[in-house]
Homo-oligomer: A and B are copies of this chain.
Amino acid sequence: RIMRPDDANIAGNVHGGTILKMIEEAGAIISTRHCNSQAGEPCVAALARVERTDFLSPMCIGEVANVSAEITYTSRHSVEVQVNVMSENILTGAKKVTNKATLWYVPLSLKNVNKVLEVPPIQYARKEQEDEGKKRYEEQKLDRLETKQRNGDVILPVINPEPHTVGYSQSSLIHLVGPSDCTLLGFVHGGVTMKLMDEVAGIVAARHCKTNIVTASVDAINFHEKIKKGCVITVSGRMTFTSNKSMEIEVFVDADPFVDEPRERYRAVSAFFTYVSLSKEGKPLPVPQLLTETEDEKRRFEEGKGRYLQTKAKRQAQMQQAAQQ
């Protein structure tokens, strides 16, 4: 579809969250279709996880987003989908890869939302494809267990914070979950959640560096808990790390099922977003360093640095590999 002014910031760059939402919708369609392709209980595919994704080039207002999705692996109860987004300038014909994402879906019964159904197996062209898929499946399963344990943290408010401290840029928004945010099962689309997360992360980044900012990448996101229609969700973000030219922001989503259920507020999702600051010519700008004050902030900064160095090393290794081929 054509990117509209509402999809973009004032510099004309399409929000990363808009792209994540399109990716998730494509993934939900293809995996729901696949899981219903054999006779049996009807089901809806629910997003369980999005792998780390990099935004390779910004998309602009007036460009057309081409989203294509393919199922690349199936385990007994989950589907791996690869989604590619290309931006196309229909005036010049120029096309660019915007990003590639890998998503995991789980089929939930339409009659009983707590029942996970079986996934019809796909055919692989080569045996290696199945083996590689299985490896990815095992890896993400492990990673999901890990983040589940990390989930207790909360963001405490700070009064009169100094510029460039964590408290200075931290932000949160609340959103009442409406019918158009939800799937047929009455639960929030993963894409809607990711769009809100990107919105908060973007505000944190802009508050910190007060320039035009864009999403550079999103770390793997795990969706442990479903969010029901009518919930109020609180999306909170705080900066955890800055390198010379990037900012890492941790975002939490908490759900408050306050109308018709006795349940307490719970943590539904959390993730790390990385932003860069861009000049008017689209060049990356230096970012003010994050000032850490408490022990926790210092620890999170070091952890963020670890993730940053790891990603950098991985990217260099890939580039060397590519250069050798």
Interface residues of A (CB under 8 A from B): 1-2, 4-6, 9-10, 25-26, 28-29, 32-33, 36-37, 42-44, 61-62, 64, 88, 90-93, 110, 156-157, 159, 163, 171-176, 178-180, 184, 199-200, 202-203, 206-207, 210-212, 229-230, 232, 256, 258-260
Contacts and interface: CB of A to CB of B under 8 A. Distances in A.
Contact of A5 (B5, B42, B230): B5
A206 B5 contact: no
What copy number does this chain have within its complex? Answer: 3
B90 A206 contact: yes
Contacts of A91: 32, 36, 42-44, 110, 206, 210-211
A258 B37 CA distance: 8
In this complex, which of A90, A163, A173, A259 has the most chain B Cβ atoms within 10 angstroms of its Cβ?
A90
Given A29-B176, A232-B33, A10 B206 contact: no
Nearest to A206: B90
Given A91-B206, A92-B36, A174-B171, A29 B64 contact: yes
Contacts of A180: 4-6, 178-180
16 contacts: A1-B1, A2-B199, A4-B180, A10-B230, A29-B232, A33-B256, A36-B93, A36-B259, A42-B260, A64-B203, A90-B206, A90-B207, A172-B172, A173-B173, A173-B175, A207-B258
A184 B179 CA distance: 9
A91 B202 CA distance: 12
B199 A33 contact: no
Contacts of A230: 9-10, 184
Top 3 nearest A-B pairs (CB, nearest first) are A157-B157, A5-B5, A5-B179
In this complex, which of A10, A43, A202, A256 has the most chain B Cβ atoms within 10 angstroms of its Cβ?
A10
A157 B172 CA distance: 12
Given A61-B10, A91-B42, A258-B36, A28 B206 contact: no
Contacts of A37: 93
B232 A207 contact: yes
B159 A176 contact: no
Contacts of A172: 172-174
B260 A26 contact: no
Contacts of A29: 2, 64, 90, 174, 176, 232, 258
A207 B62 CA distance: 12
Given A33-B256, A42-B260, A157-B157, 4 more contacts: A5-B180, A33-B232, A171-B232, A178-B179
A9 B93 contact: no
Contacts of A25: 1-2, 176
Nearest to A168: B93
Contacts of A163: 93
